[in-house]
């Protein structure tokens, strides 16, 4: 097989020991999803798969598992300082998406946004698909988006457990089916609420090839234009099917766990090629990461498009990485 192209990995998780200690207090089914991790393991994976730089992030369930508001804020600050330290130690290899408290803690979220951009120079932030039973387009979260917009933030959206999908069977853990749906739900909410159009300086990356959004985009576009005709927020919400589709395509899409031919065919034919980014989902994907990397490399993709997805698009999104690329 030909050598893998150089990459920027925008979906690369870290699981520090202090975070795993917090996880030890939740149920066993959730802990099974958390593998062992170390900075050395990340670097070894990156070297094996020719990844120049990985943008580090916190995976679901996020810092809200710490319980009280103060504990959550403390865990977020500890994680951000830790990630920033890794970047300082390996400035050419690591960047990071900062963690935030739950958005229902507006004061804590706004304070942490200012801290991570002004003091830590974070590359962006991670938001989860919902907080307190509300998706990211909720009016209650508008101040957070306004603050992120001031910093021209890159926002990496990662799915978390659906508040609308109760446990059904051990053979259907939420990452199998519900996570892709949660991504589509919150993306649609951002568009139809007008939040995506209201804060255009935020560049929003959807995990896992956008979940089910590319598959459902036409359905969402046609039905919303019919059902919501004349009743959406005239100031910010898209008006008509063409604007809805334009806004759905304005997201960025990472390829974590999305390297199968079926998904790639759909995404490449639907999404703008300059909005597709490489992602590994290390270390959660385990052996699946190897399979997705192999199928992605073997996929018959135009060489220029592959270069864009693997590296060039990320260099445009994170200009500081160009300094290390020279």
The tens digit of pLDDT for each residue in 236-245 reads 777 778 889 9
Q: In the prediction, which pLDDT does 231 show?
A: 59
Ranked by mean pLDDT, which of 28-42, 216-230, 300-314 comes out on top?
300-314
Mean pLDDT, residues 247-257 taken together: 96
- State the SS3 of 101-147: CCCCCHHHHHHHHHHHHHCCCCCEEEEECEECCEECCCHHHHHHHHH
Angle 247-248-254 from CA coordinates, rounded to 5° = 125
291 — pLDDT class (breaks 50, 70, 90): confident
The tens digit of pLDDT for each residue in 68-111 reads 999 999 999 999 999 999 999 999 999 999 999 999 999 999 99
Q: In the prediction, which pLDDT does 70 show?
A: 97
Q: 53: helix, coil or strand? A: strand
DSSP string, 243-292: HHHHHHTTSEEE-TT--SHHHHHHHHHHS-GGGEE----BTTTTHHHHHH
DSSP string, 154-176: EEEEE----TTS----TTS-TTT
Place of tokens 């150089």: 6
The tens digit of pLDDT for each residue in 191-224 reads 999 999 999 999 999 999 999 999 999 999 988 8
Contact present, 148 and 199 (Cβ < 8 Å)? yes
Mean pLDDT, residues 54-64 taken together: 93
Please return the burial class of 325, using the count of CB atoms within 10 Å of its CB with bins 0-12, 13-18 and 19+: middle
| CA dihedral of 95, 75, 37, 154, whole degrees rounded to 10 | -30
What is the average pLDDT score of the chain?
89
| Distance from the first to the final alpha carbon of the chain | 27
189 — pLDDT class (breaks 50, 70, 90): very high
162 — pLDDT class (breaks 50, 70, 90): low
- 27-46 CB burial, b ≥16 within 10 A, e <16: eeeeeeebeebebeebeebb
Ranked by mean pLDDT, which of 31-45, 172-186, 224-238, 247-261 comes out on top?
247-261
Q: In the prediction, which pLDDT does 127 show?
A: 98
Dist. CA 103–CA 26, nearest whole Å: 21
């Amino acid at each position: 097989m030909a050598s893998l192209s150089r990459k920027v990995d925008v979906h690369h998780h870290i699981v520090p020991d202090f975070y795993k200690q917090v996880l030890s207090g939740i149920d066993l089914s959730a802990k099974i999803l958390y593998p062992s991790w170390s900075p050395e393991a990340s670097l070894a994976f990156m070297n094996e798969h020719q990844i120049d730089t990985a943008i580090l992030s916190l995976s679901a369930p996020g810092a809200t598992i710490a319980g009280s508001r103060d504990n959550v804020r403390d865990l977020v600050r500890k994680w951000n300082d830790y990630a920033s330290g890794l970047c300082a130690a390996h400035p050419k290899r690591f960047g990071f998406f900062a963690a935030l408290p739950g958005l229902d803690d507006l004061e804590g979220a706004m304070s942490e946004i200012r801290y991570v951009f002004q003091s830590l120079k974070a590359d962006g932030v991670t938001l989860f698909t919902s907080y307190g039973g509300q998706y990211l387009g909720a009016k209650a979260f508008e101040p957070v988006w306004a603050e992120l917009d001031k910093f021209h933030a890159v926002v990496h959206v990662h799915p978390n457990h659906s508040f609308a999908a109760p446990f059904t069977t051990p053979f259907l853990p939420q990452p199998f089916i519900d996570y892709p749906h949660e991504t589509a739900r919150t993306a649609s909410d951002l568009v139809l609420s007008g939040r995506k159009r209201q804060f255009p300086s935020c560049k929003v990356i959807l995990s896992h090839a956008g979940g089910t959004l590319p598959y459902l985009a036409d359905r969402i576009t046609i039905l919303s234009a019919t059902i919501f005709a004349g009743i959406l927020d005239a100031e910010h919400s898209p008006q008509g099917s063409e604007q809805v589709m334009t806004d759905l395509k304005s997201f960025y899409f990472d390829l974590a766990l999305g390297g199968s031919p079926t998904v790639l065919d759909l995404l490449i034919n639907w999404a703008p090629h300059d909005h597709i980014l490489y992602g590994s989902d290390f270390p959660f994907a385990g052996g699946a990461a190897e399979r997705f990397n192999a199928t992605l490399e073997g996929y018959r993709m135009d060489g220029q498009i592959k270069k864009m997805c693997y590296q060039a698009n990320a260099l445009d999104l994170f200009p500081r990485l160009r300094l290390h690329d020279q």
